[in-house]
A and B are shown apart, each in its own frame.
Chain A
């Protein structure tokens, strides 16, 4: 919901229902990073109300468009975070699997070496007999 002015759309308050600090703080951050914004802030009118009020004042652009851009950019950033995170996790898992395989290989080699030595020892015993 938007509370604005008919004559000047460069400032407005928006009420986001069923949202809290989670979204509002991130949106506020994105708004503040926009050079067109002169003021951006949010408040929760009452702890028992499930809504936040976001205030946007701009240098002239419509506040609604600026807020939309902020949300759009926030979404793009999230998308990027997800792709980077997924890539990092899959790389980590591949690396873990490689390390585990290597360890397995080393273990096997060690066991074989031990077996060889044991066999050698056994064969030596027979010879001595």
Chain B
């Protein structure tokens, strides 16, 4: 017999209200939400439900809350030197990690040689190839101290760095290697005189002779470069080889630019990230199987634990080393025992700088650039 009371109870009944029903997504759904699992022939759960109402039928709000982000976001620096950096970025979406990576590679400015004025080149390398090689040399100069050289600008001390290269292999000597240490910084700008068509007017004769740059002051008078002259980052890069009697005389003009225009302006050798691997043993892996598992992994992720009386058990010792090569799940016996997962919101980020700026500064510059982009859109919309 159903009473009126029962009816009211049934009407108002919600399973989520019961004290022993856990809030939020059930565990298996949560696993799907924040782990990618590498199966034998493909990865599963790769897609993110980024839509705010993606889990509304489970009673879960998937919208991003700034307060939650402020609380959850974490950065762990693993290593940081003048050129390389590795850090963990936790609690952020791939959209952000990828934006930072793309900006680091293509949109953070650096200085690179753009114009090469060749006065004399009898070497085996033709002018255009030589110019291209010189263009790719990384320059250790802070791009924040310089301005972009626009089409209407004259090259001056604020937007151009000039290098001179003059080498000759004397006759009777062995072959000469021209390295980047021969590139000599000219803080006063170009030394090559500009030819003024035909007759030179007398009114110009007292003033400074016209060169390919118009520096108003010497760059080494600037406080930033008073003590440390501008050089290429590495002084042992081979530019050309000269046989006896051959000679190169040229001037190289470096300007500011971004990697989108040409890769020589990219301030990073590379910047990349991967999701944190998570290796889980779904059952006990013992004895012969354990030994096989340890042996099959090229990255030494697993270790053997002695359980006494001659029995052994496999453990996951270094999951961070895992490259998800799937060697372990190619084995028929092990495929059901090992789960290779990636944590969707935990990124291992690596930056290799080419030397213009240390990698940690590059990253903050990249974030600033993304901020500026947002600001630009905002200004455009209002």
Please give the residue numbers on chain A whose beta carbons come within 8 Å of chain B beta carbons, in ascending order. 2, 14, 16, 19-23, 25-30, 32-35, 37, 64, 67-68, 71-82, 84-89, 91-93, 96
Contact = CB atoms under 8 A, between A and B. Distances in A.
Contacts of B368: 78, 82
A75 B375 contact: yes
15 contacts: A21-B98, A22-B99, A22-B102, A28-B95, A29-B93, A34-B63, A76-B66, A77-B69, A80-B73, A81-B73, A82-B367, A82-B368, A88-B75, A89-B80, A92-B80
Nearest to B56: A35
B131 interface: no
B226 interface: no
Range, interface on chain B: 35 or more
Given A67-B381, A81-B73, A89 B95 contact: no
Interface stretch (B4-12, B46-54, B197-205, B329-337): B46-54
B77 A89 contact: yes
Contacts, number: 116
Nearest 4 CB-CB pairs, A to B? A33-B64, A92-B77, A29-B95, A88-B75
Contacts of A87: 75
Nearest to B101: A22
A54 to B, nearest CB: 9
B17 interface: no
Nearest to B49: A32
Contact of A33 (B63, B377, B378, B381): B63
B371 interface: yes
A71 B374 contact: yes
Interface in B57-100: 61-64, 66, 69-70, 73-77, 80, 87, 92-93, 95-96, 98-99
A75 B363 CA distance: 16
B99 A81 contact: no
Interface of B: 50-53, 61-64, 66, 69-70, 73-77, 80, 87, 92-93, 95-96, 98-99, 102-103, 106-107, 360, 363-364, 367-368, 370-371, 373-375, 377-378, 380-382
A96 B360 CA distance: 15
Nearest to B106: A22
A66 B74 CA distance: 27
A16 B370 contact: no
B51 A32 contact: yes
A79 B98 CA distance: 17
Contacts of A19: 373, 377
